Structure 1
Amino acid sequence: MEEVRRAQEIGDPSSPARQPRTRILHVTFNMGFGGTEQVIRQLVNNLDPNRFECEIACIDGEVGAIGKEIEAKNGIKVHSRQRGSGLDWKIILWLRKLIKHRHLDIVHCHQYSPFTYGWFAHWGTGAKVVFTEHGRFHPDRYRKKARFINPIIAHTTKTLVAISHATRDALAEYEYMPRYKIDVIYNGIDPLTVIDDEHRHFLSTNLGLQQGELIIGTVARLDPVKNHALILQATRALIDKGYKVRLLLVGDGPERENLEVLAEDLKLGSAAIFAGFQTQAADFLSLMDIFLLPSFTEGTSMTLLEAMSLGIPTVATRVGGTPEIVVDGETGVLIESDDLTALTNGIQILIDNSDQRRSMALRAKARFHDNFSAKKMVERYQQSYEST
Structure 2
Amino acid sequence: MKIGILCHATYGGSGVVAAELGKSLASRGHQIHFITVGHPFRLRNYQRNIFIHEVGAFHHPLFAVPPYFISQVNKTVEVLRGYQLDLLHAHYAVPHSLGAHLARQIVGKDIPVITTLHGTDTSLVGAHEEFYETTRYSLEVSNLVTVVSNYLFEQTSKTFHYTRELPVLYNFVDTNVFRPSLGMERHLIADENEAILIHISNFRPLKRVLDVIQVFNQVRQKRKTRLVLIGDGPDMPVAQKLAQSLDLTREILFLGQVDNVAPVLALADVLLFPSSCESFGLVALEALACGVPVVASRAGGIPEVVEHGQVGFLTEVGNVEEMVKYTLMLLENRNFRQKLSNNARQHAISKFNVDYWVEKYEGIYQLVLQQKTDL
**TM-score with structure 2 length normalisation?**
0.85
**Which letter maps to 1:117?**
G
What are the superposed Cα offsets for residues 86-140 of structure 1, whole Å, 9 maximum, x if unpaired? 7944543442342233211111001121111112222331210000012226974
In the alignment, is residue 161 of structure 1 matched against residue 137 of structure 2?
no
1:172 maps to 157
Aligned residue for 1:280?
260
Counterpart position of 2:101: 119
1:80 aligns with 2:54: yes
Q: 1:323 to 1:148 in 2, by over 3 A?
A: same
Structure 1 residue identity aligned to 2:170: Y
Gap regions ≥5 residues in structure 2: 58-64, 369-375
Give the Cα–Cα distance (whole angstroms) in 2 for the partners of residues 274 and 151 of structure 1: 39
1:185 aligns with 2:165: no
Cα gap change, 1:181/1:309 in structure 2, threshold over 3 Å: closer, same or farther? same
Contact 1:150/1:176 (<8 A) preserved = no
Match of 2:350 among 370, 380, 386: 370
Q: Are 2:73 and 1:92 aligned?
A: yes
Letter in 2 for 1:65: F
> Take 2:121 and 2:239, find their aligned partners in 1: how far apart are those partners?
21
Distance change >3 Å, CA 336–CA 94, structure 1 → 2: same
Q: Distance in 1 between matches of 2:348 and 2:134?
A: 37
1:47-62 map, 5 Å: 47=25, 52-58=30-36, 60=37, 62=38
Whole-angstrom distance in 2 between the partners of 1:233 and 1:329: 22
Cα distance change, pair 205–49 in 1 and its aligned pair in 2 (3 A): closer
| Deviation readout 1:162-198 (Å, 9 max, x if unpaired) | 11111222222223433x4111111112112333454
> 1:217–1:247: 8 Å Cα contact kept in structure 2?
yes
| 8 A contact 1:147–1:176 mirrored in 2 | no
Farther-moved stretch of structure 1 (261-270 vs 160-169)? 261-270
The equivalent residue for 2:13 is 35
Distance 2:248 2:70 in 1: 51
1:206 maps to which residue?
A: 188
1:218 to 199, 214, 237: 199
Shift of 1:292: 1.0
2:122·2:156 contact (CA, 8 Å) conserved in 1? no
CA 1:153/1:88 → structure 2, altered by over 3 Å: closer, same or farther? closer
Partners of 2:26 and 2:48 within 8 A in 1: no
Q: Percent identity?
A: 21
- The farther-off stretch of 123-132 and 296-305 is 296-305
Residue in structure 2 matched with residue 344 of structure 1 by the alignment: 324
Q: Which has the larger radius of gyration?
A: 1
On the 8 A contact 2:115/2:146 being kept in 1, the answer is yes
User: Alignment RMSD, CA only?
Assistant: 2.6
* Contact 1:110–1:133 (CA under 8 A) maintained in structure 2: yes
Contact kept, 8 Å, 2:173 with 2:348, in 1: the verdict is: no
Cα separation, partners in 2 of 1:166 and 1:82, compared to 1, 3 Å: farther
The one-letter code sitting in structure 1 at the alignment partner of 2:79 is L
- Specify the alignment match of 2:62 in structure 1: none
Q: CA deviation at 1:248?
A: 1.7
Q: Is residue 194 of structure 1 aligned with residue 180 of structure 2?
A: yes
Letter matched to residue 220 of structure 2 = I
Inter-partner Cα distance in structure 2 for 1:385 and 1:149: 24
The aligned residue for residue 3 of structure 1 is none
Q: Which residue of 1 aligns with 2:84?
A: 103
Q: Contact 2:289–2:344 at 8 Å: present in 1 too?
A: yes
Structure 1 portions without partners, runs of 5+? 1-21
Q: Which stretch has the larger CA shift, 294-303 or 102-111?
A: 294-303
Compared CA separation, residues 195 and 92, structure 1 to 2 (3 A): same
* TM-score, scaled to structure 1: 0.83
CA contact (8 A) 2:277 2:300 kept: yes
Residue in 2 that maps onto 1:231:
212
- Indicate the residue corresponding to 1:25 in structure 2: 4
Contact (CA 8 Å) 2:156, 2:162: kept in 1 or not?
Answer: yes
Contact 1:99 1:125 in 2 (8 A): no
**Match of 1:319, SS?**
coil
> Residue 90 of structure 2 contacts residue 115 of structure 2 at CA under 8 Å; is this kept in 1?
yes
Q: Compared with structure 1, are the counterparts of its residues 206 and 212 closer, same or farther at alpha carbon in structure 2 (3 Å cutoff)?
A: closer
Q: How many residues in Structure 1 have an aligned counterpart in Structure 2?
A: 355
